[in-house]
């Protein structure tokens, strides 16, 4: 087979997508299951990996997942030390991404970030402290925090954060609702905390981002569009409600 014919055959085999290759995806080094989880050994799992690996298998790509602290991820992405970042959003980390021409995929999954409070909390009792996982921002409360309406309490893990609310050390925890519900299952805190749906919440979506591989982002978008049923099935499998 001639070289042009061989190249054309490869193009057809991968459906006209970006050439098969190995890529590094920077991910957050924390337990945010069922969305994603990085354990002590650096193993990455959850809905995010299921979706990305399924895409990679369909296209012949190989993905390595590199767990990093949230605050380092953008620097690694901008420096080209990772090819992609997940999750990302055009509204996140604007200072860290200033001047960088990043490409973002279409939404992979939606999310709701809001306040978890004690289930028996009197609605009339004002919230004074908002707890967050270290490195995360309570976007729905930025103006109120700047005005000094609330005090921020940071914890290094979701478990510590939710326990802090359960025992009354923190008034509320600003968390992803799906993640909090999963984290509470089977714990002494299950049933003691609930979503404060009358309070402001941030509703958005998770995206795959890149600095140097816009062509693969376009192909990933096409894959998402033609595999909506498979992605929906994975959401159900991992218990994502949003």
User: Which pLDDT tens digit goes with each residue over 199-233?
Assistant: 999 999 999 999 999 999 999 999 999 999 999 99
174: left (phi over 0), alpha (psi -120 to 50) or beta: beta
User: Which pLDDT tens digit goes with each residue over 67-113?
Assistant: 998 889 999 999 999 999 999 999 998 888 999 999 999 999 999 99
Give the alpha-carbon dihedral of 125, 128, 131, 132, to 10 degrees: 120
CB 157 within 8 A of CB 175: no
- Please state which architecture CATH assigns to domain 112-202: 3-Layer(aba) Sandwich (3.40)
Reported as a pLDDT band with limits 50, 70 and 90, residue 18 is low
Fold identical between 12-109+204-237 and 112-202? yes
Q: Where are the domains of the chain?
A: 12-109+204-237, 112-202
Sign of CA dihedral 186, 190, 196, 197: positive
For residue 190, the surrounding DSSP H or E stretch is: none
The 3-state DSSP class for residue 4 equals helix
User: Which pLDDT tens digit goes with each residue over 123-172?
Assistant: 889 999 999 988 788 999 999 999 999 999 999 888 999 999 999 999 99
Q: Does domain 12-109+204-237 have CATH number 3.40.190.10?
A: yes
């Amino acid at each position: 087979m001639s070289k042009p014919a061989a190249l054309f055959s490869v193009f057809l085999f991968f459906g006209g997508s970006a050439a098969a290759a190995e890529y590094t995806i920077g991910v957050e080094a924390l337990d945010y299951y069922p969305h994603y989880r990085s354990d002590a050994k650096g193993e990455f799992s959850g809905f995010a990996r299921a979706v990305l690996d399924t895409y990679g298998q369909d296209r012949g790509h190989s993905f390595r997942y590199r767990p990093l602290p949230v605050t380092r991820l953008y620097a690694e992405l901008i420096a080209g030390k990772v090819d992609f970042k997940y999750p990302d959003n055009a509204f996140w980390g604007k200072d860290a991404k200033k001047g960088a021409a990043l490409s973002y995929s279409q939404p992979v999954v939606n999310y709701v970030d809001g306040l978890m409070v004690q289930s028996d909390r009197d609605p009339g009792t004002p919230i004074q402290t908002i707890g967050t996982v270290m490195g995360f921002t309570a976007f729905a409360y930025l103006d109120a925090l700047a005005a000094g309406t609330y005090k921020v309490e940071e914890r290094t893990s979701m478990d510590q954060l939710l326990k802090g609310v359960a025992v009354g050390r923190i008034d509320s925890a600003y968390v992803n609702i799906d993640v909090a519900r999963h984290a509470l299952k089977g714990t002494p805190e299950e049933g003691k905390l609930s979503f404060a749906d009358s309070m402001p919440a941030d509703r958005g979506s998770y995206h795959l981002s890149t600095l140097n591989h816009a062509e693969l982002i376009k192909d990933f978008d096409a894959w998402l569009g033609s595999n909506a049923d498979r992605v929906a099935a994975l959401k159900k499998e991992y218990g994502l409600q949003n």
